[in-house]
Amino acid sequence: TIAYLNGEFIPLEQARISPLDRGFLFGDGIYEVIPSYGGRMVGFTQHMARLANGLAAIEIGCDLDSMQWQIITQRLISDNRALLGDNIGVYLHVSRGADTRRYHAYPQGVSPTIFGFAFALAAPAQPDRLIHPGASVSLTQDLRWQRCHIKSTALLGNVMHFQQGAQEGNAETILFNQQGEITEASSSNVFIIKQGKAFTPPLDNQLLPGITRQLVLKCLSLANIEVAEEAITVDELMAADEVWITSSGKEILPITRVNGQIIGDGNVGEIWEQVFTVYSQQKFEL
């Protein structure tokens, strides 16, 4: 595939960065994953806003404006479509760059490393509860850091949580804090449905402000389903009628089993079908 590195489009296997890059040594960087289907991106403006927030939060100065990012992203999609097909995720990454020494403080006069590549996404699911099998997740205490709202490339905490779920044969791992409240999953956000009403944890430092989460909130309101951004306890999760996880790669994934226990009646829910139908129709416009 064709990748982008510091101003150039090159074959991915030819991309080279310094081992002194702080993204490599410290996980000192910010990233985004933007989904696209048939060449059309979902949530591009929102992804750009979050990227700008992340770069500002860790004081990385990056000269690219949203228009330049759009040109890069579109080109990664169009140049790789023949190889990857219609469903493409674009990974964008800005790390602080290569310093001449390994010193913790932010270095002066170092230019950031800007990298992007494209990868194949799974085809979107059909919004049909009778054909979607539903997915299983693990549930465990959130042992990550307290700045989870920053989309940092330092993902070891997330990786270790995801790995636990994978080892248990599950698609994801949902996380709860010391108060027994759900934060998010290791690489997605969480929604539940109880008695026809939707709930998702409020945005704070314990979770990433997911773009799919934001778009799903819009779809819930388009579908006239009441929604509260409110703490969800583990007990409330386990007793929910429906559980969903959301992310750029998974869209809205219905969960029918948590830590081996069946959710609701064990089938993919009606409200999932309703909201995912709206999402599937409107996602390029949201």
Residues carrying an active site annotation: 151
**Concatenated DSSP letters for 228-285?**
EE---BHHHHHT-SEEEEEETTTEEEEEEEETTEEPTTSS--HHHHHHHHHHHHHTTT
Using the 8-state DSSP alphabet, how is residue 166 labeled?
A: H
How far is the C-alpha of 275 from the C-alpha of 253, rounded, in Å?
11
Interacting residues with ligand PDD between 18 and 47 (CB under 6 A): 33
CA atoms within 13 A on the CB side of 268: 21
Is the Cβ of residue 41 or residue 98 nearer to ligand PDD in the bound state?
A: 41
Q: In what order do the strands lie in the sheet with 8-11?
A: 8-11, 2-5, 113-120, 87-95, 29-37, 40-41
Q: Is 107 in the site for ligand PDD (CB under 6 A)?
A: no
Given 173, 183, 189, 206, the residue binding ligand PDD (CB under 6 A): 189
What's the min distance (Å) between Cβ of 175 and ligand PDD? 9
Using the 8-state DSSP alphabet, how is residue 105 labeled?
A: S
Given 249, 259, 273, 280, the residue binding ligand PDD (CB under 6 A): 249
Given 170, 247, 256, 263, the residue binding ligand PDD (CB under 6 A): 247
178 burial (CB, 10 Å; 0-12 / 13-18 / 19+) is exposed
Given 98, 198, 208, 219, the residue binding ligand PDD (CB under 6 A): 208
How far is the C-alpha of 74 from the C-alpha of 29, rounded, in Å?
22
Q: Is 90 in the site for ligand PDD (CB under 6 A)?
A: no
11-19, 243-251, 255-263, 276-284 -> range binding ligand PDD (CB under 6 A): 243-251
Q: Is 158 in the site for ligand PDD (CB under 6 A)?
A: yes
Is the Cβ of residue 211 or residue 220 nearer to ligand PDD in the bound state?
A: 211
Given 246, 256, 269, 278, the residue binding ligand PDD (CB under 6 A): 246
Structural tokens at position 35: 């989904």
Can you give the binding site for ligand PDD, defined by CB under 6 A?
A: 33, 158, 184, 187-189, 208, 210-213, 246-249
